[in-house]
Amino acid sequence: MNKYENLYVINAELTEEEIKSVIEKFAKVITDNGGEIEKIDEWGKRRLAYPINYQTEGYYVLVLFDAEGRVPAELQRNLKNDERIMRYVVERREA
């Protein structure tokens, strides 16, 4: 299994419950595909470097996980199709 990190920005206008459900949804995508979550680090609401769709703030979440090579592609597909996600990146970490 490879080590990966996933950083994504959720629309900050969502309620606290909606944000929690988004985080749980993407954690479930990882675990359902055989991955193991090492850590979920919620950075919270932060100012964006530049406006995205007229939004100036976003809710940042960093997820460290171990998974097979096919899992990041599935995770990216799900992140791309969710309108609540403003930006995302999934990268492989050094072991």
Residue 58, pLDDT above cutoff 80: yes
Each domain of the chain, given as residue ranges in start order, spans 2-92
Its pTM surpasses 0.75: yes
Residue 54 tokens, joined = 């007229």
Q: Just give the CATH number of 2-92.
A: 3.30.70.60
pLDDT tens per residue across span 69-82: 899 999 999 999 99
Q: Count of CB atoms within 10 A of residue 78's CB?
A: 16
Confidence band, pLDDT 50/70/90 cuts, at residue 36: very high
| pLDDT value for 94 | 85
